[in-house]
Structure 1
Amino acid sequence: MSQESAAAPDRQPLDETAAASVRKYAADQRAKVDVLASVLEDIAENGYPSPESGVPWEVARDVHLARLADGEPRVA
């Protein structure tokens, strides 16, 4: 990051904890985009996968809901 943007008068500096959280979120988002990009590149290279090799949406939903239920408690 450049020194100009850090010293800009129209910006409010973040404390170290907030800055670390923002950096972690950015890294998580970047990782998700990298996964999506690799899937799209694979489709471009090899074509669409056959429907028989996929996972029914009901199964994907149930797996995702089970993963959420096993996670840490969250505020609604």
Structure 2
Amino acid sequence: MSQQSVPAPERQPLDENAAASVRAYAADQRARVDVLASVLEDIAAHGYPAAETGVLWEEARDAHLERLAGEQPRVA
């Protein structure tokens, strides 16, 4: 994704609530990426975890689906 911004006249401004929602979503995504980055850094520093300490993919999937079901709906 480009870091260049579009000139101001070509942009449609957001109202305060929409801007706050976008900022909250960005913060949530940034937190998720930080967690992933820390896991990858741990693997790089210490190697892969033992298989016995892991979670079965079915259990991880089911837990994730439960989390998704409990989240607030979002506008794309």
For the aligned pair, the TM-score class normalised by the smaller chain equals 0.7 to 0.9
> Tell me, which stretches of 5 or more residues in structure 1 are unaligned?
none
Structure index of larger Rg? 1
Report the TM-score when normalising by structure 1.
0.74
Structure 1 segments of 4 or more deviating over 6 A?
none
Aligned residues: 68
Give me the TM-score of the superposition, normalised by structure 2.
0.74
Instruction: Name structure 2 gaps, 5 residues minimum.
Output: none
Task: State the 1:31 CA deviation.
Answer: 0.2
Structure 1 residues 73, 44: CA separation in 2 closer, same or farther (over 3 Å shift)? closer
RMSD, aligned CA? 2.2
Match of 1:15 in 2: 15
Give the structure 2 partner of residue 34 of structure 1. 34
